[in-house]
Chains A and B, each alone.
Chain A
Amino acid sequence: MSHRWVVRILVVAVVAGGGLGAQSATADAAQDRPPAAGTVNADAVREVAAQLRCVVCQNLSVADSPSEMANQMRGIIRDRLAAGEPPEQVVQYFVDKYGEWILLAPRGRGFNMMVWAAPVVAVLAGLIAVGVLLRRWTRPRPAPRAGGIDPVLRERIRRELESEP
């Protein structure tokens, strides 16, 4: 069996898999009826609810939590959005009421900048370290002395040949 063939099958399989999901997703979109006047799209409610912590649960968002409390909070979100409040203002309402703690992702200002900066700093520091090491390690070295092969080197060559399929 030629590898091209296998690759083709594979692409078809993954595209089919992704396609299945996408098809269903576009079908869903077609089914969504436009919201009637005064009602709010469920996605809009969900988008706000996903940012908020369910106050009685452990670590679930208001969108995901099955609790009664989360249900009520979703109701408040729906009502406020229906009244024409922009989503940010709805979020702010909950922050004013419960404190910053209600936000599942802290806002990236002030002290909280730190938590957002940490991953960036970590990756950058790592990349710089690797860059410096690579520069140092790939510096050209003096040519090895002529004569018999160093036994250490021979052993290394043997090991590398051995483990390559």
Chain B
Amino acid sequence: MISDIGHGALAVGTVLAVYGSIASGVGARTGRPALIESAQYAALAVFTLVTGCLLLLSYAFLTFDFSVRYVAQQTNLSTPFYYRITAVWGALEGSILLWTWMVTLYTLLVVLRHRAQRDLYPWVLSVMLGIAAFFLLVMTIPAPPFERLTPVPLDGRGLNPLLEDTGMITHPVALYLGFTGFSVPFAFALAALITGRVGDAWITITRRWTIIAWYFLSLGLLIGGWWSYHVLGWGGYWAWDPVENAACMPWLTGTAFLHSAMIQERRRMLKLWNISLVILTFSLTIFGTFLTRSGIIASVHAFTQGSIGVFFLAFLAIVLLTAFGLLAWRWDRLRAEGELDSALSRESAFLLNNVFLVAAAFTVFFGTVFPLLSEAMRGVKVSVGAPFFNQVNVPLFLSLIFLMGVGPLIAWRRASVENLKRNFLGPVLVGVAAAAALHVVGVRSALALLSLGLTVFTTATIVLDFSRAARARMRAGSRFLPAIATLLLHHNRRYGGFAIHLGILIVAVGVTGSQAWSVQTEATLRHGEAVHLAGYQVRFDGLSAEEDSTHATVIGTFTVSNGHGTPTVMRPSKKFYPQESSPIAGVDYRMGLREDLYLVLGDFARDGSQATVKAHVNRLVSWIWIGGLVLTLGAILAIVPDPQRA
């Protein structure tokens, strides 16, 4: 029953999306508003149908309807309520459904917000519905979420235990909101090409959309890191897994676009470059899905298989051919000569920022596909993993941190020596002083010194700028807090951007600290024995076992003391799921601003007399999560309506 309704709704949705896409385009071309209006209704109907499907699938999960194959694969009678909801997008079919739902949601929001806009809007609607149509098509042919299963099994297979985590409600949702969010600026860019209005209108309109998409993508990446850190049990938060890379690439090009768009807004240059960056960013989100879903690359995220890879590859080809075809067609209008007053200006700082961001994206891309290339051309399997990516990206990221300090303060057009001295002499001295001070207190790693020195430099430029502006207001008669508040609200774009930079800098401190100073050890302990690590004493006090609805757990009890304060008990565990061949680690951790103590249980004797424990002392990792919070505040500030222009 549910199968039939779901299938039907998706089929109707596909037809309507195709119709709407064509109607809107034809309406725009022939100047018939009635057609565009009917496309709007189609968009509304598609959104309603996909929402209905999402609810229907959730209902199937909540009622254990194992006649739906996807439900039977992803859940069983013992899956608790909460995870039956997150299981909806726990695998391929459901995640495509969630993805489609978001595309249709963004489409509807674009209709609501921009329908008064007459020249670009109909084409935007056409493109967005076209994208939705593709994803609906995927759900009707290669990845049907409502496929029927006969005979109906008595119980399902059960959810992948790694996904039984609260992070699973937020991580995919945030990530997909980011991915799908980039379809809005992409649709506007295509509309600009189709209509030939390649001026800055589309850039101005999509500014907020881009920030929203960028923010959700950042959030998705950070939550993914958090999930990896506290669920996977290897002590890290970023493994340069192909799928992490796939999500990281559009983030890099999207970041480049956010910055180069500012040059176009202000100087009306880089039209061609901006449109290319948006096309690239959107294509990379599709490429990422292709990489994840086609199973061509082994990864923790790879769901598998089947003909879906061909669909995504074909779609990617259509997107690239159409977009760059249009670009070539409008070449004359885009090719406007740039004009700059000086190479020493904010414009060139932003250009360099773009070089490094796009080079990083390219590096990640090439590293990720290189194993395929090697196998195809030489027949030799190679791996490209963390040691490679860390090594090649560190110089790029450090350059970006430096530019992050320079860009916002250097003058537009032409920086005078005076301007440079006024804005950078102090921060440079502060940065150097900080590096020297760190050297004195015992930091020996050159990389850590460089990274923290640059971070301090850039932070100092932000503080300098903000305090200068605040003091100017205070001289004009404002008191301290009101001065800051008006400053933030009236220049929300600028200071939202600064807050986002600050968030990234805090993340950078966390990454530097955890890379440079984390320590770990592994020891097999008998009852009452202890292992020592970085001032902590970890004593093994025995094993216990528990059983709950989905799995059995073996828990190690460890008493931890660090010389002062009362000892605490930590209980890392191993979870045994009937459907999984190997056990899943249950990490226990104590987080702190300075360091986290992180315990993972290894092998153990069945009689509980001894156990192996891996202990990590991970330094400054919490700064990464704090940076994420600051970034969130900055993003909110950057998208609130500007009171001056409202």
* A contact set with B: CB distance below 8 Å: 1-4, 6-7, 10-11, 14-15, 17-28, 31, 42, 46, 50-51, 53, 58-61, 64-68, 71, 99-106, 111-112, 114-116, 118-119, 122-123, 126-127, 129-130, 133-134, 136-138, 141, 156, 159-160, 162-163, 165
A64 CA to B341 CA, complexed, in Å: 52
Q: Which of B25-33, B57-65, B467-475 contacts A (4 or more CB under 8 A)?
A: B467-475
A159 CA to B452 CA, complexed, in Å: 36
A138 CA to B386 CA, complexed, in Å: 41
Shortest Cβ distance from A68 into B: residue: B603
> CB-CB < 8 A to A21: which residues of B?
443, 513, 516-517, 594-595, 619-620
Chain A CB within 8 A of B384 CB: yes
Shortest Cβ distance from A14 into B: residue: B456
Binary A-proximity of B319-342 (CB < 8 A = 1, otherwise 0): 000000000000000000111111
> CB-CB < 8 A to A71: which residues of B?
602-603
Would you give the shortest CB distance from B493 to chain A, in whole angstroms?
Answer: 8
Query: Can you give 11 A-B contacts (C-beta < 8 A)?
Result: A18-B513, A19-B438, A19-B442, A19-B443, A24-B619, A42-B521, A66-B234, A100-B380, A126-B358, A133-B338, A165-B494
Given contacts A24-B534, A165-B494, contact A119 B594 (CB under 8 A): no
> CB-CB < 8 A to B535: which residues of A?
24, 27-28, 31
Would you give the shortest CB distance from B300 to chain A, in whole angstroms?
Answer: 5
Given contacts A59-B239, A104-B386, contact A7 B464 (CB under 8 A): yes
Whether B384 pairs with A105 at a CB distance below 8 angstroms is yes
Chain A CB within 8 A of B233 CB: yes
A6 CA to B490 CA, complexed, in Å: 22
> CB-CB < 8 A to B519: which residues of A?
25, 28
> CB-CB < 8 A to A112: which residues of B?
374, 382
Chain A CB within 8 A of B585 CB: yes
Shortest Cβ distance from A117 into B: residue: B366
> CB-CB < 8 A to A61: which residues of B?
385-387
Whether B594 pairs with A134 at a CB distance below 8 angstroms is no
Binary A-proximity of B492-518 (CB < 8 A = 1, otherwise 0): 011000000000000001000100110
Whether B388 pairs with A22 at a CB distance below 8 angstroms is no
Whether A11 pairs with B516 at a CB distance below 8 angstroms is no
Shortest Cβ distance from B242 into A: residue: A59
Binary A-proximity of B240-277 (CB < 8 A = 1, otherwise 0): 11100000000000000000000000111100000000
Q: Which of B185-193, B305-313, B429-437 contacts A (4 or more CB under 8 A)?
A: B429-437
Binary A-proximity of B588-603 (CB < 8 A = 1, otherwise 0): 0000001100001011
Given contacts A7-B426, A134-B348, A165-B494, contact A25 B516 (CB under 8 A): yes
Would you give the shortest CB distance from A57 to chain B, in whole angstroms?
Answer: 9
Chain A CB within 8 A of B377 CB: yes
Whether B534 pairs with A28 at a CB distance below 8 angstroms is yes
A46 CA to B616 CA, complexed, in Å: 13
Whether B517 pairs with A24 at a CB distance below 8 angstroms is yes
Would you give the shortest CB distance from A89 to chain B, in whole angstroms?
Answer: 19
A47 CA to B337 CA, complexed, in Å: 52
Q: Name B606-624 residues within 8 Å CB distance of A.
A: 614, 617, 619-620, 623
Whether A31 pairs with B534 at a CB distance below 8 angstroms is yes
Chain A CB within 8 A of B9 CB: no
Q: What 12 additional pairs, Cβ within 8 angstroms, besides A25-B516, A99-B380, A119-B363?
A: A10-B459, A14-B434, A14-B452, A21-B513, A21-B619, A42-B522, A58-B300, A59-B385, A126-B354, A126-B356, A138-B341, A165-B491
Given contacts A115-B366, A119-B359, A123-B396, contact A18 B382 (CB under 8 A): no
Would you give the shortest CB distance from A164 to chain B, in whole angstroms?
Answer: 8
* B contact set with A: CB distance below 8 Å: 233-236, 239-242, 266-269, 298-300, 337-343, 348, 351-352, 354-356, 358-360, 362-363, 366-367, 370, 374, 377-378, 380-388, 391-393, 396, 412, 426-427, 430, 433-434, 437-438, 441-443, 448, 452, 455-456, 459-460, 463-464, 467-471, 480, 487, 490-491, 493-494, 509, 513, 516-517, 519-522, 532, 534-535, 582, 585, 594-595, 600, 602-603, 614, 617, 619-620, 623, 644
Whether A2 pairs with B381 at a CB distance below 8 angstroms is no
Would you give the shortest CB distance from B293 to chain A, in whole angstroms?
Answer: 16
Whether B383 pairs with A103 at a CB distance below 8 angstroms is yes
Given contacts A31-B534, A116-B392, A134-B340, contact A58 B426 (CB under 8 A): no
Would you give the shortest CB distance from B574 to chain A, in whole angstroms?
Answer: 9
Whether B351 pairs with A102 at a CB distance below 8 angstroms is no
Whether B463 pairs with A66 at a CB distance below 8 angstroms is no
Would you give the shortest CB distance from B400 to chain A, in whole angstroms?
Answer: 12
Would you give the shortest CB distance from A52 to chain B, in whole angstroms?
Answer: 9
**Which listed residue (B338, B391, B442) contacts A26, Cβ 8 A?**
B442
Shortest Cβ distance from A25 into B: residue: B517
Cβ-closest 7 pairs across A and B: A3-B467, A126-B355, A104-B385, A105-B388, A105-B387, A122-B359, A137-B340
A67 CA to B600 CA, complexed, in Å: 11
Whether A18 pairs with B266 at a CB distance below 8 angstroms is no
> CB-CB < 8 A to B617: which residues of A?
24
> CB-CB < 8 A to A114: which residues of B?
370
**Which listed residue (B340, B351, B378, B441) contacts A138, Cβ 8 A?**
B340
**Which listed residue (A11, A50, A51) contacts B437, Cβ 8 A?**
A11
> CB-CB < 8 A to B268: which residues of A?
156
Given contacts A1-B480, A19-B441, A111-B374, contact A165 B469 (CB under 8 A): yes
Whether B388 pairs with A66 at a CB distance below 8 angstroms is no
A71 CA to B612 CA, complexed, in Å: 11
Would you give the shortest CB distance from A68 to chain B, in whole angstroms?
Answer: 7
A26 CA to B352 CA, complexed, in Å: 38
Whether A14 pairs with B233 at a CB distance below 8 angstroms is no
A6 CA to B396 CA, complexed, in Å: 29
Whether A122 pairs with B595 at a CB distance below 8 angstroms is no
Whether A59 pairs with B300 at a CB distance below 8 angstroms is yes
Whether B383 pairs with A102 at a CB distance below 8 angstroms is yes
Would you give the shortest CB distance from B342 to chain A, in whole angstroms?
Answer: 6
> CB-CB < 8 A to B467: which residues of A?
1-3, 6
Most chain A beta carbons < 10 A, residue from B442, B448, B620: B442
> CB-CB < 8 A to B434: which residues of A?
11, 14-15, 18
Whether A123 pairs with B381 at a CB distance below 8 angstroms is no
Whether A25 pairs with B603 at a CB distance below 8 angstroms is no
